[in-house]
Amino acid sequence: MKIKNQDPSPIDYNDRGVKWFNRGEYDKAIADFNRAICTNPQDALAYMNRGIAWAQKDEYNKAIADYNEAIRLDSSNSSYYHNRGLTFAEIGEYEKAIADYDEAIQLNPDNATTYSDRGAAWARKGEKNRESMCYDKAIMDYDHAIRLDPKYALAYMNRGSALDSKGDHDKAIADFDESIRLDPKNPNAYYNRGNAFYQKNLYDSVLADYMVAIALKSDFALAYNNRGLTWAKKGNYEKAIADYERALTLLPNFSGPYYNRARIEALNGSNDHALEWLVKAIEKDEMYRQYAKRESDFLSLRDDIRFITIVKDL
């Protein structure tokens, strides 16, 4: 991709870098943003663009360093704070992310996306710390985003997820319905609505939504796993196992299907296989050691010395 000008300006390099970025050629994009910065070290936009490209490569520390420099050069641009907030959220620094979104909103209070992204940070903080108050703040942000943009499908979906986390499944389903009406091709909306239906024991509706989610996204490992859970609830262990196997084919380090397969084997009376799958689950994620102690599906294993040894605290 050539630049027409014989003496390219920082704008020329920035523009070509954005084109490379939009093609998914992140290294080439970074090279052009480097050239823009070398040509004009005060080019805050080039630092932001390079930061976005670094984030796409999961080079989050480099991304944050570039956002820091962009903000140092121009502290009045809300998008610099917003993008740094996105990166902080990606690495689990939710308080820092929220602080950046706060600053972005101060500078540009009419951006629905910033409210939605701040809501997502509150929700993820709530999930991490098990704080219900965080979901309330997330819902308030999604409310604001929807007031600014009533056709914001993602905000409806995310508000639905926050409501579902608070146990308000009916309101959650209503939000997922609206999200799907606005954007019927989003597999996550069907998946999340399926999760809400699962909480209400509406298993046929659950299966219908997971099937649509998988049709829209054939490598949706989470949907396969949760559909397996639903088949198990309906007593169809063969289909449940097939879904767990598919989930593991797509995502071999996904711990959930290992644990869920152990539960199925225990219910089928295959205790040896159940213990094998349980060990694999615990190897992937230690939390399953505690889950197994309380799991009613492992009733047949309670007195088995092997089970007692496996779930014993280290």
What is the residue-level pLDDT of the chain in tens, covering all 314 positions?
Answer: 667 666 788 888 999 999 999 999 999 999 999 999 999 999 999 999 999 999 999 999 999 999 999 999 999 999 999 999 999 999 999 999 999 999 999 999 999 999 999 999 999 999 887 888 999 999 999 999 999 999 999 999 999 999 999 999 999 999 999 999 999 999 999 999 999 999 999 999 999 999 999 999 999 999 999 999 999 999 999 999 999 999 999 999 999 999 999 999 999 999 999 999 999 999 999 999 999 999 999 999 999 999 999 999 75
The angle formed by the CA atoms of residues 225, 227 and 231, to the nearest 5 degrees, is 115
3-state secondary structure of 3: coil
Give the tokens for residue 111. 């951006």
**Residues sharing a CB contact under 8 Å with residue 291, sequence separation 6 or more, in sequence order:** 259
**Residues sharing a CB contact under 8 Å with residue 31, sequence separation 6 or more, in sequence order:** 17
Give the tokens for residue 281. 């689950």
Please report how many Cα atoms fall inside a 13 Å half-sphere around the Cα of residue 249, on the Cβ side: 9
Within 10 angstroms of residue 74's Cβ, the number of other Cβ atoms is 15
pLDDT for position 160: 98
The amino acid present at 305, given as its one-letter code, is: I
How far apart (Å, rounded) are the C-alpha atoms in residues 280 and 261? 10
How far apart (Å, rounded) are the C-alpha atoms in residues 80 and 69? 10
Kindly report, residue by residue over 77-93, the tens digit of the pLDDT.
Answer: 999 999 999 999 999 99
pLDDT for position 1: 66
